[in-house]
Amino acid sequence: MIIEIDKQFRLELINESHSKQIFNLVDTNRKFLRVWLPFVDNMKTEEFAENFVSGTMYRNSLGSEYAFVIIENEKVIGRVGVYKIDQQNKIAEIGYWLAEDVQGKGIVTTSCKWLIDFCFSELKLNRIEIKCGTANLKSQQIPERLNFSKEGIIRQGELLHDKYIDLYLYSHLREAIRRTI
């Protein structure tokens, strides 16, 4: 699946051809990304990236997630996706990360807008969540720009580098879309 956002920018469902680019992107941005992403320390080889992508592709095929790479001018610059899809309760989470040198251009916000529409129209979800560290100010800007409701704090909700951190929980409901139409 490929989603053309504009002439320079698209989302592609992750496949094996992205493994090397994902590894190189993480490796180049290791210090920046590891602050908030626990998987970065484990991605030490291209083989790890290949296994990471294989697992992602498997979960994509099951419909338990839809993970995309973000491509700008034919270069992978980040990742965005719908994760932990709970079909019984019609709930899922959106997650994202982006290379340091492309921050601040609205890329993640634009990608998430597409994913929100995909979640409600294609996946028929009722609730979308975004969780981010209470000290991760940049990440918090995404759900806030997209009119998510800040529901509260998940105390010690994530293990990050041998320390539990608190997470803000944001949500967006299908009925909120209907109210704005």
Per residue in 125-174, pLDDT (tens digit) is: 999 999 999 999 999 999 999 999 999 999 999 999 999 999 999 999 99
Note the pLDDT of residue 181: 43
* Strand pairing report for 9-13 and 75-86: unpaired
Give the span between the Cα atoms of 139 and 41, in whole angstroms: 20
Q: Count Cα atoms within 13 angstroms, Cβ side, for 42.
A: 10
Q: How confident is the model at residue 6 (pLDDT cuts 50, 70, 90)?
A: confident
Question: φ, ψ for residue 23 (rounded to 5)?
Answer: -60, -50
Q: What's the Cα-to-Cα distance from 66 to each of 85, 110, 150, 153, 172, rounded to whole Å?
A: 9, 16, 24, 26, 18
Residue pair 23/94 in contact by the 8 Å Cβ criterion: no
Token pair of 159, please?
């293990």
Q: What is the pLDDT of residues 8-67, one digit of tens each?
A: 889 999 999 999 999 999 999 999 999 999 999 999 999 999 999 999 999 999 999 999
Give the span between the Cα atoms of 22 and 43, in whole angstroms: 10
List the domains of the chain with CATH numbers. 2-180 (3.40.630.30)
Q: pLDDT averaged over the chain?
A: 93
Above 60 in pLDDT, residue 180? no
Q: How confident is the model at residue 178 (pLDDT cuts 50, 70, 90)?
A: low
Q: How confident is the model at residue 7 (pLDDT cuts 50, 70, 90)?
A: confident
Q: How confident is the model at residue 177 (pLDDT cuts 50, 70, 90)?
A: low
H-assigned helices in the chain = 19-28, 30-34, 46-62, 107-117, 137-145, 174-180
- Average pLDDT on 102-107 reads 93
